[in-house]
Structure formats: structure tokens, C-alpha cells
């Protein structure tokens, strides 16, 4: 008998890449998960090393560098889903940031190797919101944030519908949010 609820599993992109090449049953058996309704949210993880040039006079990572790391995380997520932002640009479409939120929790210093966790928070035909967490080696949250992006024509800056222009990409994003 099936329970009257959905079990959600948040898994790493490594496990997801294994899942997408198997049937749901194979995956459930391998990971000892009973066959309920399983949803998966993809969270990309990318490790970076704090370079000396990224720190200020106090030896702490300069605040704007976290935004660069957000981009590194977002790019890693896109690649893990099988896409490349450069391909989008080659088609004359860019994806500017229209909103950005950052909250600093704990300092990072030169020589540390933080992990950037990135996931898709929400998606609509016109925009996508990414969520980020940057953690230190002890898995303590050092920074959290989100960025909102739209698609526009590179030459006119007119909005483009994500779902209509890049349906495969949009579908992969929908699945990554489940």
C-alpha cells in the first residue's frame, strides 16, 4: 500500500547523473528506496580555492568575490544538466541578472577551499531564480544568496521566453527542481 504523501530526496548531481541513465526501479533498488513517488532536486556542488588576490588587507575574502563564485556555481549546474551558456550566447541570447541577494554569515580566508552549492529555486517562462550556499570545509554556511535572471536578445535587449526558445533546457530545469 502506498502512503498518502510524497517523499522528496535532495541528491547530489553525481547521483542524479547516475539516475538519469537508469530506470526509476533500478535507482530505487540500488539506493534501497521503496517505490513511492520520488522527486529529486538537483544541487550542484563546486569546490573552489580562495586565492590570495580574492582577499582584502585583513586576509578575508572580499565581498564581491562571492558573486563571482555564484557565477561559477551557476555555470557548473548548467553544465551538469547538459547545457552550455556559451551555446545560448552563440544564438544571440544572453541572461542578465535583474535581482541579486547576498547574506554574509562567516568569513572565508586565503587558503580555504569553500564549496558552492547551487540549485534552481524557481522557474517561469520568462525568468529563473538560482539559490546559492557557500560553505567552508567544516560545512558551515559562510554566505547565502540568490540571483534572478531573464533571457533577452543580445542585440535589442528585448525579453525572450525561456520555455519557447530553449524548450529542452527549460524541461531540464523543471526536472532539476522536482
Task: Kindly list the catalytic residues.
Answer: 56
- The answer to whether residues 163 and 125 touch, using CB atoms and an 8 Å cutoff, is yes
The set of cell numbers assigned to 123 is: 522557474
Give, in degrees to the nearest 5, the angle at Cα 132 between 126 and 136. 170
Phi, psi of 101 (to 5 degrees): -125, 135
126 and 97 Cβ atoms separated by less than 8 Å: no
Q: Calculate the alpha carbon distances from 85 to 61, 77, 94, 159, 174 in Å.
A: 27, 11, 8, 17, 17
Quote the distance between the C-alpha of residue 143 and its chain's center.
Answer: 15
Cell numbers 552550455 correspond to what residue?
A: 84
Amino acid at each position: 500500500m502506498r502512503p498518502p504523501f510524497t517523499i522528496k530526496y535532495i541528491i547530489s548531481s553525481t547521483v542524479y547523473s547516475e539516475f538519469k541513465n537508469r530506470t526509476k526501479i533500478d535507482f530505487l533498488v540500488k539506493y534501497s528506496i521503496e517505490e513511492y513517488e520520488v522527486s529529486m532536486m538537483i544541487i550542484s556542488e563546486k569546490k573552489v580555492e580562495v586565492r590570495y588576490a580574492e582577499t582584502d588587507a585583513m586576509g578575508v575574502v572580499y565581498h564581491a568575490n562571492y558573486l563571482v563564485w555564484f557565477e561559477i556555481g551557476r555555470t557548473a549546474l548548467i553544465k551538469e544538466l547538459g547545457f552550455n551558456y556559451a551555446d545560448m550566447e552563440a544564438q544571440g541570447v544572453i541572461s542578465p541578472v535583474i535581482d541579486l541577494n547576498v547574506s554574509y554569515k562567516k568569513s572565508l580566508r586565503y587558503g580555504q577551499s569553500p564549496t558552492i552549492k547551487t540549485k534552481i529555486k524557481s522557474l517561469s517562462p520568462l525568468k529563473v531564480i538560482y539559490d546559492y550556499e557557500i560553505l567552508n570545509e567544516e560545512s558551515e554556511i559562510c554566505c547565502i544568496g540568490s540571483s534572478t535572471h531573464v533571457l533577452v536578445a543580445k542585440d535589442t535587449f528585448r525579453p525572450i521566453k525561456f520555455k519557447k526558445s530553449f524548450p529542452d533546457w527549460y524541461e531540464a530545469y523543471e526536472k532539476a527542481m522536482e
